């Protein structure tokens, strides 16, 4: 497959991930979590302005009413916060597939790597775990600078994993041969 095909598939995967992946702030414990939206929307962050208080939607300002209604519709009514929600891994898979496709397109365009199907699959599987832990860390720390640093680290891990699977040397290591006279 050509580099532009990977990029096109990566952009399509990115749009799908943005449409169907969301982050919500728990209304009781105020923790962040990632979830699969039941219908596509570009809204990514969901929170409840009322939290666990006795306020109703009518008690809120119009701006906060929209947030409360969206939280109720996408998080509470769709069953995301209740035990038995088995869709928690799908957003992580969407994110990793996007990273794998974009990384493959970038490396194929810049380094002319020949990527075989097993390397593509192994890259997605190996980095699924690192990306999942990285996203969990970002959600746990809940800080913008840490999230940006983790994004850079995750991108670097994805790039270097594909290099290693291709038996290529990393960018910062040069092959030095011992020359004997």
Mean pLDDT of the chain: 85
pLDDT for 24 beyond 60:
yes
- Res 164: pLDDT: 87
CA distance 35 to 22: 5
Residue 72 lies inside a defined structural domain of this protein: no
Q: Mean of the pLDDT values across residues 10-28?
A: 92
pLDDT for 177 beyond 90:
no
- Res 175: pLDDT: 52
- Res 114: pLDDT: 82
pTM over 0.95: no
Give the E-state strand segments of 76-168 in sequence order: none
Confidence band (pLDDT; 50, 70, 90) for 176? low
pLDDT tens digits, residue range 83-110?
Answer: 667 778 899 999 999 999 999 988 888 8
Helix (H) / strand (E) containing 21: strand 21-25
pLDDT tens digits, residue range 105-144?
Answer: 888 888 777 888 888 899 999 999 999 999 999 999 989 9
Top pLDDT among 128 and 177 is at: 128
Total number of domains constituting the chain: 1
Residue 102 lies inside a defined structural domain of this protein: yes
Residue 7 lies inside a defined structural domain of this protein: no
Residue 140: give the domain boundaries: 93-165
Confidence band (pLDDT; 50, 70, 90) for 31? confident
**In this structure, what is the dihedral angle of CA atoms 114, 119, 121, 124, given to the nearest 10 degrees?**
-100
Helix (H) / strand (E) containing 180: none
Residue 47 lies inside a defined structural domain of this protein: no
Residue 36 lies inside a defined structural domain of this protein: no
Residue 26 lies inside a defined structural domain of this protein: no
- Res 181: pLDDT: 44
Residue 137 lies inside a defined structural domain of this protein: yes
- Res 102: pLDDT: 92
Residue 98 lies inside a defined structural domain of this protein: yes
């Amino acid at each position: 497959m050509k580099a532009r095909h990977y990029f096109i598939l990566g952009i399509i995967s990115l749009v799908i991930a943005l449409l169907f992946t969301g982050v919500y702030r728990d209304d009781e414990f105020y923790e962040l979590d990632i979830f699969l939206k039941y219908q596509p929307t570009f809204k990514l962050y969901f929170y409840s302005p009322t939290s666990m208080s006795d306020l109703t939607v009518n008690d809120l300002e119009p701006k906060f009413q929209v947030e409360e209604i969206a939280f109720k519709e996408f998080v509470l009514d769709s069953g995301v916060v209740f035990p038995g929600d088995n869709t928690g891994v799908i957003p992580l898979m969407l994110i990793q597939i996007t990273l794998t496709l974009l990384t493959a397109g970038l490396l194929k365009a810049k380094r002319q790597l020949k990527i075989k199907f097993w390397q593509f699959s192994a890259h997605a599987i190996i980095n699924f775990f690192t990306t999942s832990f990285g996203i969990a860390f970002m959600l746990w720390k809940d800080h913008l600078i840490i999230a940006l640093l983790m994004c850079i680290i995750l991108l670097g891990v994805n790039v270097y994993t594909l290099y290693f699977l291709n038996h290529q040397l990393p960018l910062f290591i040069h092959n030095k041969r011992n020359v004997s006279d």
